[in-house]
Amino acid sequence: MEIRRTKIVDAIKLTTYDETINVKGWVRTKRGNKNVSFIALNDGSTINNIQIVADASKFSDDLMKDVTTGACLSVVGKLVKSMGAGQAVEIQADSIEIYGKADPNEYPLQKKGHSFEYLREIAHLRPRTNTFGAVFRIRHNMAMAIHSFFHQKGFFYFHTPIITASDCEGAGQMFQVTTKNLYDLKKDENGSIIYDDDFFGKMASLTVSGQLEGELGATALGNIYTFGPTFRAENSNTPRHLAEFWMIEPEMAFYDIKDNMDIAEEFIKYCVKWALDNCADDLKFLNDMIDKSLIERLKSVIECEFVRLPYTEGIKILEDAIAKGHKFEFPVFWGCDLASEHERFLVEQHFKRPVILTDYPKEIKAFYMKQNEDGKTVRAMDVLFPTIGEIIGGSEREENYDKLLKRIQELNIPMKDMWWYLDTRKFGSCPHSGFGLGFERLLLFVTGMQNIRDVIPFPRTPKTAEF
Ligand code: 4AD
Ligand code: MG
């Protein structure tokens, strides 16, 4: 009789001793002696392995020599209470089928701990390690938490385009999309490339943000969120930047900056709590192996109230710290864009909890942010987190047609790209707000991993697009 496969996550919880079950997975380790082998099998459904006990009398040496780290097996056997420490049950194998061998002389993931740098070079295999298994299960869970949060609040998941002809952040960091023959580009008399015959008939790029189209959704459906990949050709080789990252961008009609901060704080706490409630085994592993204060830090973030502070006050605190002898790498002055060392100082040393910094100078923020009466600052909000720095960037949006148009002109943003966006302010304009959460920055925080390249399966960064 064919026995249906049991996932290891379920098998290790069974108490139906003596039942014959089937498990399938990859060998993590094999140890033992000439009479018996103990095989730790993992199928990715959980961080935990199930122990397979293989009696030498039942299996040929020929078969057992191919049961090596990395090999894929199907095992049928009897579930029994384990005598050994570390597991409640184990399987006494009756039959072992080898689906795929893994030559010990070639398989790169042997038992010893590898550096994360090395594992990035074998990113096609690293999901099979404990750490990356844990990280990617948590990544899935965070995606579910995000959809659950917004769905439960009546937000609609709105799909914004990945290919676009407008630059949302206006920072000129876009990857161009073209089908043109790059060896034979048609140019006009000024030397500019002619795009008439390109696929879209104009210059097109990968989006840096779905926000502008998200605003079209919000000014029709009320509350929407996007959740998709975004692309930035910024040459930042840091542990917090990717060229391809995922962003969640809620946009809400009739929300002002205060409502925006409230929901951002509630949202991020919901995600962190979801991880604590649903990813206990993986978090415990990461807490033990990667960052001993991880779980404590996650709990403290859900329990505390985030600080809300205008940028100008933040600058004063930083200047005070410098006056008292604190050294920063980058200068601090009113008007400067904060570096992550400044953000982390405010969060980790000064306030010791997350900070929402508001009312930034308009020069360092995007054109669409609502201008304050002072003529100098905008209703921006950045959520700053321990170990990360900026995790969320958002604002109330400028809903006044004339003010928005003036800002677009001041910044020389080409009008022909923006007519449809301006239409939202021309027809039934409304106060509205939104923000963007960097998905991988959230994952850095929740997993305690140090490098953003290690929380996405296949990282894209300057000079790397392998796998
Ligand atoms: O602050 P940013 O650039 O804001 C926007 O794109 C707005 N359109 C969002 C909005 O209001 N709807 O990016 C938002 C967040 C940052 O706070 C950061 O967490 C993340 O996206 N982020 C990156 N994450 C990884 N790699 C990069 N290169 C990132 N750039 C931004
Ligand atoms: Mg930002």
Residue whose Cα lies nearest atom 9 of ligand 1: it is 436
pLDDT tens across the length of the chain (467 residues): 689 999 999 999 999 999 999 999 999 999 999 999 999 999 999 999 999 999 999 999 999 999 999 999 999 999 999 988 888 999 999 999 999 999 999 999 986 789 999 999 999 999 999 999 999 999 999 999 999 999 999 999 999 999 999 887 877 799 999 999 999 998 999 999 999 999 999 999 999 999 999 999 999 999 999 999 999 998 889 999 999 999 999 999 999 999 999 999 999 999 999 999 999 999 999 999 999 999 999 999 999 999 999 999 999 999 999 999 999 999 999 999 999 999 999 999 999 999 999 999 999 999 999 999 999 999 999 999 999 999 999 999 999 999 999 999 999 988 888 899 999 999 999 999 999 999 999 999 999 999 999 999 999 999 999 99
CB contact at 8 A, 74 and 87: no
Q: Which long-range contacts (CB under 8 A, 24 or more apart) does 80-88 make?
A: 80/17, 80/18, 81/17, 82/51, 84/38, 84/51, 87/12, 87/48, 87/49, 87/50, 87/51, 88/12, 88/13
Token duo for residue 305: 């109230």
Ligand 1 pocket: which residues have CB below 6 Å? 168-169, 209, 211, 232, 234, 241-242, 245, 247, 249, 390-394, 434-436, 438, 440-441
Token duo for residue 349: 């040393």
How far does residue 232's CA lie from ligand 1's centre (Å)?
10
pLDDT of the residue at 194: 93
pLDDT of the residue at 1: 67
Question: From the alpha carbon of 208, which atom of ligand 1 is closest?
Answer: 6
Probe target for ligand 1 pocket from 155, 245, 365, 440, with the most ligand atoms within 8 Å of CB: 245
Probe target for ligand 1 pocket from 160, 167, 206, 209, with the most ligand atoms within 8 Å of CB: 209
How far does residue 418's CA lie from ligand 1's centre (Å)?
21
